[in-house]
Chain A
């Protein structure tokens, strides 16, 4: 293999100077990708559990009037899914803004992303409350625990993402976030997009695919 001795920071010129690296990729970026890879397994375990047990308690849910197709409000969940999908667009526009040193644009798009995330979470709280009123509990059959744990953990991830975005927003307001630190926005964006792709899978597997 041909190797070259080149200056640190120049050999891997895609990341700005000041970003720690001894691999050519900033440690932070490599770290977030390793984390996201582990998160695939984390959510994979919950989605797998749901799919494996899907439909096995159909008779129980039918008896109690809690069949998913009866209690799910697909138009409502589609609307919140659409909002989360659009938050991925605003997130990537925030990154594009900081990369061209447009700090006002950055704040607008970061704020929009956080707002969309908050709307999604509000929708989830509303949905959970409705399901609870209908009689669906954490201990209802196998659907109850698999549904609440999986979507609840996803909601917790979205909530962490909202705090992360708000932290970036306020750092930018204080002038502590500049275009030289665009990687901070990129890393937060990677997390946010990951949360979005997990929802793409959950939305299809739980809400759209027929339960039985």
Chain B
């Protein structure tokens, strides 16, 4: 027995008065329920958070690397950039509430970019024995 549910309501076509049916799976329908954009007040609150994180980020960049070590500075800066990135993508680009398929589309590129970085870095190190030597110094 088929588990297909048929809802046969027709939508009039603009040209011939006929109808058109599309097949939608449960996942697609589910996404519509979660498609509400935030209120302007929430957008402003996100902007305030973004400004605060940016201010902290700039302040951290002024800390001497002798104080806490350059790796810690990089870690803190990268974490704050990720927070800002996630806030803009989730709230302003509505990926938090929009359809899952769009999130997946974007994630392909987002994961692909660091992966590309990793592959290039590993390939360069493997191919070039002098990779770590400084370049371009004129006598």
Tell me the count of chain B residues lying within 8 A, CB to CB, of chain A.
74
A residues 156-212 near B (Cβ < 8 Å) are 189-190, 193-194, 196-197, 200-201, 203-205, 207-210
By secondary structure, the B interface counts as helix
Given contacts A1-B25, A44-B117, A45-B116, contact A14 B35 (CB under 8 A): yes
In the assembled complex, A38 has its CB within 8 A of some CB on chain B: yes
**B138/A86 in contact, CB under 8 A:** no
A122 to chain B, nearest CB (A): 20
Q: Which of B6, B57, B70, B91 contacts A204 (CB 8 A)?
A: B57
**B77/A209 in contact, CB under 8 A:** yes
Binds B, one of A21-29, A123-131, A147-155: A21-29
Interface centre among B8, B62, B78, B102 (most CB of A within 10 A): B102
In the assembled complex, B17 has its CB within 8 A of some CB on chain A: no
Mark B114-139 against chain A: 1 for CB-CB distance below 8 A, else 0: 10110011001000000001111110
In the assembled complex, B96 has its CB within 8 A of some CB on chain A: no
B21 to chain A, nearest CB (A): 5
Given contacts A41-B116, A204-B81, contact A11 B58 (CB under 8 A): no
Mark B40-67 against chain A: 1 for CB-CB distance below 8 A, else 0: 1001101100110010011011100100
In the assembled complex, B1 has its CB within 8 A of some CB on chain A: no
Given contacts A4-B24, A52-B120, A96-B40, contact A200 B88 (CB under 8 A): yes
**B11/A8 in contact, CB under 8 A:** yes
By secondary structure, the A interface counts as helix
A110 to B100 Cα, complex, angstroms: 28
A197 to B109 Cα, complex, angstroms: 13
Q: Which of B3, B40, B117, B133 contacts A51 (CB 8 A)?
A: B117
**B93/A6 in contact, CB under 8 A:** no
Using CB atoms and an 8 Å cutoff, list the residues of chain A in contact with chain B: 1-14, 22, 24-25, 29-30, 33-34, 36-41, 43-45, 47-49, 51-52, 56-60, 63, 74, 78, 81-82, 85-86, 88-89, 91-93, 95-96, 99, 141-142, 189-190, 193-194, 196-197, 200-201, 203-205, 207-210
Besides the known contacts A5-B21, A48-B113, 8 further A-B residue pairs in the complex with CB atoms under 8 A apart: A2-B3, A2-B4, A4-B26, A11-B22, A41-B109, A60-B137, A96-B39, A209-B77
3 nearest A-B pairs in the assembled complex, by CB-CB distance: A44-B113, A40-B109, A37-B109
